[in-house]
Structure formats: structure tokens, C-alpha cells
Amino acid sequence: MINEKQDVYKSYDIIARWFAENRSQDLMEKSYLDSLLAITGNPAEILDLGCGTGMPVMGYLLNKGTRVTGVDASYRMLEIAKNNFPAEDFVQADMRKLSLDRKFDAVIAWHSFFHLPPEDQPAMFRIFKKHLNPRGVLLFTSGKEYGEAWGMNGGVNLCHGSLHSSEYLSLLESNGFTVLQYKEDDPECGYATVWMAQLTDQADLFI
């Protein structure tokens, strides 16, 4: 039996084909991705956590000349992603347990991190940091109030978790990040709250 709260990726195994066919290809993320690339420059090495099918985010980044490593816990989503981008590197893993022997110029967790239960989210900031080069950039979406919300996608009920915005700020600062952009309820991005932060504290980078 699927634990829909803890194992949302198993729900994505069920709806992977539906998602691939119905996920909007309008690049709502474009302004943020362009801002990120303006900081990292090219060729950048980017880690896409919760990459899904790779479309449209990975496709856009690759067309800009970056190298992207995609991580997703859903093997069916990765099957589609590998078919879309056969030359790229993909890793099947739960982001909460991720420990790659690599660092990247940027980490993206767009509309993926917010599927984690609130209690699992604080530990992710050490994982983000662990996989970033000095001055690396983190881009993620969240809610703005503590709690959980559920929504139907492809006939499956998906959990979305959030901390309060003040806690996200505290977690970023305590892990050595400086916030570059923050926008609550961005209407261009499905009313998600968008964060972009840069790793500026060089202490304890080699964890």
C-alpha cells in the first residue's frame, strides 16, 4: 500500500504517462532559470532534483548549453526522461537520501521539494548544501505557511507540504545561503512561492 504522504513518488509512478501528456510545456520558470544561468554562467553543471520527465525545465537548460543531472524517485518518470534525453545522466533516488559524490553549480528543486512532508524538509538544506560548489545557486518552490494540502492530479491525490516562510529563511541562513530572490504566490508559477539563494558561507562545505 502506498503511503501517499511519505512516498509521493510512488503516486507519480502511477500517473507518469498522464503527467507527460498533460504537464504544460509553457516555461513558467523561464525568468528564474535565466536569472540562475546569469549567475552560474556556462557551461554550468546543474542538479535537477525531482526532474520528472525532464520537460520542460531540463530541455530548456540543455538548450542553453548546461550539463544537467536528473534525480527522481519515480522510476516511471525517469523512464520517460531517459527517452527524452538519452545522452544525459539520471539517478533514481529519494532526494531525502541523496548522497552523490559530486558537486554542482546549481541545484533546482522546482515543484518537487514541496511534495515532502513538512517534517522532512529541514534536513534537505544540508543535502542541498552538500551538493553545491562554493557560490552555488539553489532554486526551489515552496508554500508560505506551515501545513499540508492535497490536490488531485491524474486521478491521484498528491500531498504538498510547507513550512512557514520565516523557517525557510532561517534554514537558508543557518546553512550559509544568502537569499537572492523571493516571491510569494507567484501567479506565473502556479501561485507557488519561489526562492533563489546562493551559497556564500564557505564553512563546512566539504561535508
Which residue range is the domain that position 110 belongs to? Answer: 8-199
pLDDT value at position 154?
Answer: 54
Percent of the residues in the chain that have a pLDDT greater than 90, as a whole number? 71
Tell me the β-bridge partners of 47: 69, 107
pLDDT value at position 26?
Answer: 77
pLDDT value at position 196?
Answer: 99
Judge whether residue 6 has pLDDT over 50: yes
At 27-59, the pLDDT tens digits run: 889 999 999 999 999 899 999 999 999 999 999
pLDDT value at position 147?
Answer: 78
Read off the C-alpha cell for 147. Answer: 501545513
Q: Is the peptide bond before 56 cis (omega within 30 degrees of 0)?
A: yes
Residue 2: inside a domain: no
Residue 116: inside a domain: yes
Residue 204: inside a domain: no
110: CATH:
3.40.50.150
Residue 67: inside a domain: yes
At 64-83, the pLDDT tens digits run: 999 999 999 899 989 999 99
Q: Sort 123 into a burial class: Cβ within 10 Å, 0-12 / 13-18 / 19+.
A: exposed
Residue 180: inside a domain: yes
Residue 136: inside a domain: yes
Higher pLDDT, 125 or 155: 125
Instruction: Kindly state the average pLDDT of the residues 160-172.
Output: 94
Task: Say whether pTM exceeds 0.85.
Answer: yes
At 188-202, the pLDDT tens digits run: 998 999 999 999 976
Residue 1: inside a domain: no
DSSP codes joined into one string, the chain: ---TTT-HHHHHHHHHHHHHHHS--S-TTHHHHHHHHHHH-SS-EEEEET-TT-TTHHHHHHHTT-EEEEEES-HHHHHHHHHH-TTSEEEE--GGG---S--EEEEEETTTGGGS-GGGSTTHHHHHHHTEEEEEEEEEEE-SSSEEEEEEETTEEEEEEE--HHHHHHHHHHTTEEEEEEEEEEGGGTTEEEEEEEE---TT---
Look at the chain and report how many structural domains it folds into: 1
CA distance 108 to 88: 16
Judge whether residue 8 has pLDDT over 80: no
Residue 3: inside a domain: no
